[in-house]
Chain A
Amino acid sequence: MRSNLGFFSDEKFRSIFFQTLVIGLFALGIFFIVNTTAYNLEKRNIATGWSFLQNPAGFDISFSPFLEFKSTDTHLKVYFVGVLNTLLVSITGCIAATILGFLLGIIRLSSNWLLSRLVYIYVEFSRNVPLLLQIILWYSILIQLPRVKQSLQFLDVFYISNRGLYSPRPIFESGFSYVLIAIVLALVSSFLINRWAKKRQDKTGQQFPVFFSSIGLIFVVPLILFFILGSPMSFEHPELKGFNFKGGLVIRPEFIAMFLALSIYTAAFISEIVRAGIMSVSKGQREASAAIGLKQTWIMRLIIIPQALRVIVPPLTSQYLNLTKNSSLGIAVGYADLVHGFGGISLNQTGQAIECMVIVMATYLTISLTISFFMNIYNRSIQFKEK
């Protein structure tokens, strides 16, 4: 009996047998799905292929700050507008959430009981209420703002109404490119100065005022150049004409709602990560650095934060990924991101569900992988290096 099964109890044979079986079943499943799908598509008269990308979209997109969009533009352009909008809200959201999250995480550890309790209540509320609900809530607050005619004014140039935030739009004239070049050069050189100063400090112990010299390079030099060139930038102010503002820069309430909800929701998670990170640095580190006479702010900057970052960065990465994926909820308030514009309206107009969904999913996968890739590089750079 046993000898008959001999080759089956051989581990190598079994492993090959099962893997071939799995591949076979998988291929069979794919074959079955492709067949039925082809049949279903034909029966429902749904076109296939990618040619629909070149067809005119036939609908307008209300928020497209980077590309001019007309309803005669193609579905491919809808896709690009969607990607840009997704990236816009994700990147601004990640930056705001990081700043707010770090601040709140540090406040949460403050010795002031009242303050830390307050942050705790905020964290619990914003973590435990669904994000979608928060987005919709922010949106409903924003569209209940006064109408355009009664819009709130700030400094006589910003107008807030239920149509969004209107601000002056900067118009760049020909000479402005020199200022931009100056800013880029200043950034590069302050980065190089930072590296040089670190090396010099490691060697000689002398310090160089990196912070002030960088500020000088990045802000003051381009500013002087700006005035020398005769201020090659002007502002176009929004003006009330009829029922709406004309001109100026418009930030739509959909974007503001998404931005606020995403950053406030994610900041709550980040603040907990930061708190855990700071608490993971042992008390002895703080005491030792106080004992050698470091200032309170230096202890935080030079001793605590670098060690805490090692604990903070991996979960922070997954928060960035979550925020980016959560930006797809813009569809609930009509924010024209990838899912709403391309995966929603284009899909409904063309009926080519499979193509649209494949593109949308592939794009999100690409964005997710890119974020993980860069955060992994950063993570490796801050990890403890044995010398």
Chain B
Amino acid sequence: MNEMNQVRKPPVATTGIIGWLRINLFFNWTNSLITLFVIYCLYQFIPWILDWTIFSADFKYNYLGEQITNQEMCSRNLDPENGGACWAVIYVRFYQFIYGFYPKVEVWRVNIAYAMLALALLPLLFAKLPYRKYFLYFTYIFPVIAYFLLNGGLGFTEVSTNKWGGLLVTLVLGCTGIALAFPIGIMLALGRRSKLPVISMMCTLFIEFIRGVPLITLLFFGMVMLPLFLPEGIDMDGLVRVLVAVTLFQSAYMAEVIRGGLQAIPPGQYEAAKSLGMSYWRMNLLIVLPQAIRISIPPIVNTSIGLFKDTTLVIIVGILDLLGIGRGTLADTNWLGLSYEIYFFVSLVFFIFTFGMSRYSLYLEKKLKTGINMGAD
């Protein structure tokens, strides 16, 4: 009888905060041990990193209240016990990180170019932008405007590219590389799938060659071999030579991505276009490519992220991009030994751009999936 009256305990919670904790953190004893260990490590690490980066860091002034102008004035060099990061180096050299050695009087041109770049990207990023068509016209002419704005000409004083640097060079290389590689990549992808054996073989060889060698060898090719190939009198700018290498590299990868998209188009589309009497170019431009590019946008963004990261390689051939300016600052006796601060800052800038792009590609993938499903329903 007693047993019958015994009240059974309610089942363990599987919902709410307690339930969530039980399922995700303390499922069994090994799991609980791991959780506790991780929490302990985080407890040790997080306060330390926060202290170093924020609480005992110098931003502009050291702990004596003086404005920092060289590394000796950083709190951590005055008093190793108390100081954290010395962000003053970023503050002092901020101009160089963003514009390189662009003349200060002309820097408004770079600022306008940055703003216009943001404007030009808008219609590409948001398909539902109002008046998108007009924005797109602007996007098409933006490279021309940017060229004259940054380089000079048309009434602007000339600023030679060896004065460019920092984020400016990183963005110029990244954006130009991606923008030029896109049409070349399409041509190469079409060429590789062409029925003409000579064209298909040449495109395949080109793509496989570029993809088989490291970017750095292509940069060397651009720097040391390209000048030998050109007739006398044609003197190529250093940045242009690097751009040629970067564009060749990127277009091979772009071609493979677009080829993937082309392969996904059902043959019925080709046949339907042909039966309407369309020529090869009409069929590709009006029927096949719009569909192929639409499905290959996520991988295109992914290779673009790769290119954006790879632009740092230009420091090896002596062009000062963001990382190059960072290394240059480190070589300055005033800022010797601040490598962690500088590399942290440069990483953060790259992280913001690349992480943003990768989120965007995920968003596109999701949108594309729902789009296709809606079409199928």
Alpha-carbon gap, A113 to B23, bound state (A): 9
Alpha-carbon gap, A127 to B229, bound state (A): 37
In the complex, the answer to whether B228 meets A353 with C-beta atoms within 8 Å is yes
**What 1/0 mask marks residues of chain A from 136 to 157 whose CB sits below 8 Å from any chain B CB?**
1100100010000000000000
Chain A min CB distance to B48 (Å): 16
**Chain B interface SS verdict (over half):** helix
Q: Is residue B199 within 8 Å, beta carbon to beta carbon, of the partner chain?
A: yes
Q: Is residue A129 within 8 Å, beta carbon to beta carbon, of the partner chain?
A: yes
Beyond A112-B25, A133-B323, A332-B315, is A36–B346 a contact (Cβ under 8 Å)?
Answer: no
A325 proximity list for chain B (CB < 8 A):
213-215
In the complex, the answer to whether B216 meets A112 with C-beta atoms within 8 Å is no
Contact of B35 among A36, A114, A128 (CB under 8 A): A114
Contact of B229 among A33, A140, A328 (CB under 8 A): A33
Contact of B224 among A326, A347, A368 (CB under 8 A): A347
Contact of B202 among A26, A137, A332 (CB under 8 A): A26
Residues 167-212 of B at the A interface (beta carbon under 8 Å): 195-199, 202, 209, 211-212
Q: Is residue A222 within 8 Å, beta carbon to beta carbon, of the partner chain?
A: no
Alpha-carbon gap, A364 to B221, bound state (A): 14
**What 1/0 mask marks residues of chain A from 315 to 354 whose CB sits below 8 Å from any chain B CB?**
0000000000110110110000001000100010000011
Q: Which residue of B lies closest to A15 (CB)?
A: B196
Q: Which residue of A lies closest to B314 (CB)?
A: A132
B327 proximity list for chain A (CB < 8 A):
136
Alpha-carbon gap, A114 to B27, bound state (A): 12
Chain A min CB distance to B101 (Å): 21
Q: Is residue A125 within 8 Å, beta carbon to beta carbon, of the partner chain?
A: yes
Alpha-carbon gap, A331 to B317, bound state (A): 11
B38 proximity list for chain A (CB < 8 A):
112, 114-115, 118
Q: Is residue A365 within 8 Å, beta carbon to beta carbon, of the partner chain?
A: yes
Chain A min CB distance to B361 (Å): 12
Q: Which residue of B lies closest to A351 (CB)?
A: B224
In the complex, the answer to whether A112 meets B199 with C-beta atoms within 8 Å is no
Q: Is residue B310 within 8 Å, beta carbon to beta carbon, of the partner chain?
A: yes
Q: Which residue of A lies closest to B357 (CB)?
A: A128
Most buried by A among B211, B228, B347, B354: B228
Contact of A140 among B221, B343, B346, B347 (CB under 8 A): B343
Residues 117-139 of A at the B interface (beta carbon under 8 Å): 118, 124-125, 127-133, 136-137
Q: Which of A16-24, A67-75, A182-190, A213-221 contacts B (4 or more CB under 8 A)?
A: A16-24
B31 proximity list for chain A (CB < 8 A):
111-112
Chain B min CB distance to A331 (Å): 6
In the complex, the answer to whether B358 meets A339 with C-beta atoms within 8 Å is no
Beyond A40-B232, A368-B212, is A332–B316 a contact (Cβ under 8 Å)?
Answer: yes
Alpha-carbon gap, A208 to B140, bound state (A): 69
B225 proximity list for chain A (CB < 8 A):
353-354, 357
Contact of A41 among B25, B228, B340 (CB under 8 A): B228
A54 proximity list for chain B (CB < 8 A):
none
Alpha-carbon gap, A114 to B21, bound state (A): 10
Contact of A131 among B35, B309, B343 (CB under 8 A): B309
Chain B min CB distance to A147 (Å): 15
In the complex, the answer to whether B217 meets A360 with C-beta atoms within 8 Å is yes
A111 proximity list for chain B (CB < 8 A):
23-24, 27, 31
A124 proximity list for chain B (CB < 8 A):
355
Beyond A22-B198, A33-B229, A332-B316, is A365–B221 a contact (Cβ under 8 Å)?
Answer: no
Q: Is residue B122 within 8 Å, beta carbon to beta carbon, of the partner chain?
A: no
Beyond A114-B39, A140-B343, is A132–B351 a contact (Cβ under 8 Å)?
Answer: no
Residues 88-114 of A at the B interface (beta carbon under 8 Å): 111-114
In the complex, the answer to whether B224 meets A36 with C-beta atoms within 8 Å is no
B339 proximity list for chain A (CB < 8 A):
137, 140, 144
In the complex, the answer to whether B214 meets A339 with C-beta atoms within 8 Å is yes
In the complex, the answer to whether A137 meets B216 with C-beta atoms within 8 Å is no
Residues 7-46 of A at the B interface (beta carbon under 8 Å): 15, 18-19, 22-23, 26, 33, 36-37, 39-41, 43
In the complex, the answer to whether B212 meets A130 with C-beta atoms within 8 Å is no
Alpha-carbon gap, A15 to B227, bound state (A): 35
Contact of A137 among B209, B227, B230, B343 (CB under 8 A): B343
Chain B min CB distance to A113 (Å): 4
Q: Is residue A171 within 8 Å, beta carbon to beta carbon, of the partner chain?
A: no
Q: Which residue of B lies closest to A34 (CB)?
A: B229
Residues 292-340 of B at the A interface (beta carbon under 8 Å): 305, 309-310, 312-313, 315-316, 323, 327, 339-340
In the complex, the answer to whether B228 meets A40 with C-beta atoms within 8 Å is yes
In the complex, the answer to whether A339 meets B34 with C-beta atoms within 8 Å is no
Q: Is residue B270 within 8 Å, beta carbon to beta carbon, of the partner chain?
A: no
Q: Is residue B135 within 8 Å, beta carbon to beta carbon, of the partner chain?
A: no
Q: Which residue of B lies closest to A265 (CB)?
A: B309
In the complex, the answer to whether A365 meets B213 with C-beta atoms within 8 Å is yes
Alpha-carbon gap, A353 to B80, bound state (A): 49
Contact of A128 among B39, B215, B350 (CB under 8 A): B350
Alpha-carbon gap, A23 to B197, bound state (A): 11
Q: Which residue of A lies closest to B36 (CB)?
A: A114
Contact of B323 among A43, A130, A369 (CB under 8 A): A130
In the complex, the answer to whether A343 meets B217 with C-beta atoms within 8 Å is yes
Contact of B199 among A22, A114, A329 (CB under 8 A): A22
In the complex, the answer to whether A112 meets B24 with C-beta atoms within 8 Å is yes
Q: Is residue A229 within 8 Å, beta carbon to beta carbon, of the partner chain?
A: no
**What 1/0 mask marks residues of chain B from 31 to 73 whose CB sits below 8 Å from any chain A CB?**
1001100110000000000000000000000000000000000
Q: Which residue of A lies closest to B195 (CB)?
A: A15
Most buried by B among A39, A43, A128: A128
14 contacts between A and B (CB under 8 A): A15-B196, A111-B24, A111-B27, A112-B35, A112-B38, A114-B24, A125-B351, A128-B358, A130-B309, A137-B339, A339-B220, A357-B220, A364-B213, A368-B212
Q: With A112-B25, A113-B25, A326-B214 given, can you name 14 additional A-B contacts, CB distance below 8 Å?
A: A36-B228, A36-B230, A111-B23, A111-B24, A125-B351, A130-B350, A133-B346, A136-B343, A328-B216, A347-B224, A353-B224, A353-B225, A357-B221, A364-B214
Top 6 A-B pairs, shortest CB-CB distance: A113-B24, A328-B214, A325-B214, A353-B224, A130-B309, A128-B354
